[in-house]
């Protein structure tokens, strides 16, 4: 039971991060039907920038949480600019091209970002300085650290804000109108290009926050960390129903829990033949199951309805 | 003179969709375009709403050059339209559809929406009130919170009109507003269009329902293979032998 609870806690924390990244995939897919495979690498850039700032300031005597916050303040604008440039340079010229073209381009952009990061930060694993005091408190026998609770609460707040933005504001209205019929939205005076740019900027800001969380939580960052994280978050978005905001959150949390439960119990179940290093298998097993059994995802309803 | 169209031509490959079409619409009138299918009526609509750029010729709205303007500027300049095949934002509520139409008339930037400034909030409130008023105006206020795709066909057409009116057009262009409507729906549509005109909006409509057109409009043009073959009041048109042959059918 204690293992179960502990893995549940770990799963929710991991799932919150997946959900935050999955929102970036789902926002862009929802508005223009594009799977932005470079999104995971934007998360990596967020992690790298936060980590760099943390390393620079680690001996400054400033309190740890403040340093992380400063790192975030540097990461968010960097990622927003990256997201804006990706859309402007790589995707906008292909707006009316067949859908395969932007998809391939997205993979290209992903490789480009990884290589740029390798040139800037090197190919070694970079460790996050020990600046965050770690208190753990007990919850029915499971231990939860302050970092973990901040991750869960922080992601939750971001998700509620995003949901409000999309459902209740003028920008959200314009985003949904653009997603359903860009041509008519234009005729109603919506600047579709601006709306799409803002969608990328918004998704990238969430990616920066996720990157900060990942690097601080795991204490490590690497130039190709965005690849696997991106694939997992993409899986989460598909699991929940890509294009659907609640779906991304649900898919992220579910995937996080499935993974950490799997990692926790796999060793016992297989008599030690397979250990927790098989954790990654679960995400892709889930992806295959969803694609076979319910391609529209748990909360998705409209598939192939786009004109 | 509200809208002056001067020698507009539009070709698609070898097909001349519009050839030297000129017409002018006066402020406050209801003007109709009729003609057989493929005569170029919808092409002309697409030109004056900026979807197509004319190959030659130009058009002015109250003296302002419009040819070549971006579609997103057309609504702001005062031309708004509905579509032959209804094109609503089907997964948004009726209310939200109309609110999108207010977009070009609200000032607060998109960034203001993110930070929720006070002006943004008060503006959003007035947008909401205006949208509700427009739904009431076209007679579907009771459906404000339903998704557009769940409205009846006639109500969807009314919602499209409400959304177009939300942009505060000087010229409202309606592409076959009565298509698919039954008699009583057509009658109440006629009342709505007359109310809109009385309240100061000029109307341009494409319509196949000859009875509706003849009873409603002040003047009309007949297009045939991309050319204007006649223009005049309904009674002049009904007596024009060329029109009768091309479109109305010989008696």
Alpha helices in A169-269 (DSSP H): 170-180, 182-187, 192-218, 225-240, 245-269
Q: Rounded CA gap, A88 and A197, in Å?
A: 8
B36 and B146 in one domain? no
Decide which of B131, B150, B167 is a domain's last residue.
B167
Give B73's contacts in chain A (Cβ within 8 Å).
189
Contact yes or no for B100 and A169 at CB 8 A: no
Contact yes or no for B106 and A194 at CB 8 A: no
Q: Rounded CA gap, A119 and A113, in Å?
A: 10
B102 and B29 in one domain? no
In a domain? residue B43: yes
B187 and B69 in one domain? yes
Token code pair at residue A117: 């990061």
Instruction: Identify the helix (H) or strand (E) that includes residue A287.
Output: helix A279-293
Give A180's contacts in chain B (Cβ within 8 Å).
89-92
Contact yes or no for A188 and B83 at CB 8 A: no
Give A192's contacts in chain B (Cβ within 8 Å).
72
pLDDT at B97: 95
Domain locations in chain A as residue ranges: 16-225
Q: What is the CATH number of the domain that holds B198?
A: 3.40.50.300
Task: Name the residue among B113, B116, B163 with its Cβ closest to that of A188.
Answer: B163
pLDDT at A304: 46
pLDDT at B109: 62
Distance from CA of B8 to the nearest CA of A (A): 21
pLDDT band at B43 (very low <50, low <70, confident <90, very high): very high
Report, as an integer, the average pLDDT of B77-88.
Answer: 91
Closest chain A residue by Cα to residue B105: A189
Q: pLDDT per residue over B62-72, tens digit each? A: 888 888 788 88
Mutate to test the interface with B, among A160, A184, A187 (most CBs of B within 10 A): A187
ipTM of the predicted assembly exceeds 0.85: no
**Domain interval for residue B160:** 91-167
State whether residue B49 sits within 8 Å of chain A by CB: yes
CB within 8 Å of A118: residues ≥ 6 apart? A223, A224
Query: Minimum mean pLDDT among A36-40, A303-307, B171-175: which range?
Result: A303-307
Task: Name the residue among A183, A189, A302 with its Cβ closest to that of B76.
Answer: A189
pLDDT band at A27 (very low <50, low <70, confident <90, very high): very high
B175 and B161 in one domain? no
Give B108's contacts in chain A (Cβ within 8 Å).
170
Token code pair at residue A125: 């694993």
Closest chain A residue by Cα to residue B110: A171
State whether residue B116 sits within 8 Å of chain A by CB: yes
Give A190's contacts in chain B (Cβ within 8 Å).
72, 100, 103-104
Q: Rounded CA gap, A56 and A192, in Å?
A: 40
How many domains would you assign to chain B? 2
Contact yes or no for B167 and A194 at CB 8 A: no
Q: Rounded CA gap, A19 and B78, in Å?
A: 43
Question: How many angstroms separate the Cα of A85 from the Cα of each of A33, A196, A273, B145?
Answer: 19, 12, 47, 38
B218 and B198 in one domain? yes
CB within 8 Å of B136: residues ≥ 6 apart? none
Distance from CA of A173 to the nearest CA of B (A): 6
B58 and B24 in one domain? yes
> How many CA atoms within 13 Å lie on the side-chain side of B30?
22
Decide which of B167, B192, B219 is a domain's last residue.
B167
Q: pTM for the complete prediction? A: 0.87
Contact yes or no for A170 and B127 at CB 8 A: yes
B240 and B204 in one domain? yes
Of B3, B31, B100, the closest CA to residue A187 belongs to: B100
Helix (H, G, I), strand (E, B) or coil at A121: helix
Decide which of B167, B202, B235 is a domain's last residue.
B167
B203 and B216 in one domain? yes
State whether residue B145 sits within 8 Å of chain A by CB: no
Q: Rounded CA gap, A190 and B75, in Å?
A: 9
B174 and B154 in one domain? no
pLDDT at B251: 52
State whether residue B147 sits within 8 Å of chain A by CB: no
In a domain? residue B83: no
Q: pLDDT per residue over A233-253, tens digit each? A: 999 999 999 888 999 999 999
Q: pLDDT per residue over A125-145, tens digit each? A: 999 888 887 788 887 778 889
B16 and B71 in one domain? yes
B74 and B4 in one domain? yes
Closest chain A residue by Cα to residue B128: A170
In a domain? residue B109: yes
State whether residue B127 sits within 8 Å of chain A by CB: yes
Contact yes or no for B91 and A183 at CB 8 A: no
């Amino acid at each position: 039971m204690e293992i179960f609870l502990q893995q549940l806690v770990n799963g929710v924390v991991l799932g919150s991060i997946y959900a935050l990244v999955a929102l970036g995939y789902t926002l862009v897919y929802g508005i223009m039907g594009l799977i932005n495979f470079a999104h995971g690498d934007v998360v990596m850039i967020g992690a790298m920038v936060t980590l760099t700032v943390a390393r620079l300031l680690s001996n400054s005597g400033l309190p740890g949480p403040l340093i992380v916050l400063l790192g975030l303040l540097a990461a968010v604008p960097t990622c927003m600019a990256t997201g804006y440039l990706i859309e402007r340079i790589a995707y906008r010229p292909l707006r009316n091209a067949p859908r395969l073209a932007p998809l391939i381009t997205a993979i290209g952009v992903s490789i480009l970002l990884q290589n740029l990061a390798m040139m800037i930060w090197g190919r070694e694993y970079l460790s996050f300085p020990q600046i965050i005091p770690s208190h753990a408190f007990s919850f029915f026998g499971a231990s939860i650290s302050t970092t973990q609770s901040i991750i869960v609460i922080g992601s939750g707040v971001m998700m509620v804000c995003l949901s409000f933005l999309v459902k209740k504001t003028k920008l959200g209205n314009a985003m949904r109108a653009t997603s359903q019929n860009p041509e008519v939205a234009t005729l109603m005076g919506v600047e579709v290009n601006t709306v799409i740019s803002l969608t990328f900027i918004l998704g990238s800001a969430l990616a920066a926050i996720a990157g900060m969380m990942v690097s601080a939580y795991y204490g490590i960052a690497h130039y190709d960390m965005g690849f696997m994280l991106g694939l997992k978050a993409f899986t989460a978005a598909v699991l929940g129903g890509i294009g659907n905001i609640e779906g991304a959150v649900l898919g992220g949390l579910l995937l996080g829990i499935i993974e950490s439960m799997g990692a926790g119990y796999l060793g016992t179940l297989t008599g030690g033949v397979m250990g927790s290093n098989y954790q990654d298998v679960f995400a892709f097993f889930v992806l295959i199951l969803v694609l076979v059994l319910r391609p529209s995802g748990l909360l998705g309803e409209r598939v192939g309805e786009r004109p | 003179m509200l809208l002056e169209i001067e020698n507009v031509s539009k070709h698609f490959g070898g097909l001349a969709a519009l050839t030297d079409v000129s017409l002018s619409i006066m402020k406050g009138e209801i003007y109709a375009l009729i003609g057989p299918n493929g005569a170029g009526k919808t092409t002309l609509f697409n030109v004056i709403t900026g979807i197509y750029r004319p190959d030659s010729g130009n058009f002015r709205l109250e003296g302002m050059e419009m040819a070549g303007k971006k579609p997103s500027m057309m609504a702001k300049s005062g031309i708004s339209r509905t579509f032959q095949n209804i094109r609503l934002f089907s997964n948004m509520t009726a209310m939200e559809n109309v609110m999108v139409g207010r977009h070009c008339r609200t000032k607060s930037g998109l960034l203001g929406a993110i930070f929720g400034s006070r002006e943004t909030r008060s503006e959003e409130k007035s947008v909401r009130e205006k949208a509700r008023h427009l739904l009431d105006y076209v007679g579907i206020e009771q459906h404000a919170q339903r998704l557009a795709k769940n409205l009846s066909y006639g109500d969807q057409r009314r919602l499209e009109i409400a959304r177009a009116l939300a942009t505060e057009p000087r010229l409202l262009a309606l592409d076959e507003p009565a298509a698919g409507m039954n008699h009583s729906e057509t009658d109440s549509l006629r009342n709505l269009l007359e109310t809109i005109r009385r309240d100061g909006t000029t109307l341009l409509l494409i319509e196949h329902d000859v009875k509706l057109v003849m009873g409603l409009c002040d003047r009309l043009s007949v297009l045939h293979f991309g050319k204007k073959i006649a223009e005049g009041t309904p009674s002049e048109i009904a007596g024009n032998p060329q029109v009768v042959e091309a479109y109305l059918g010989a008696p």
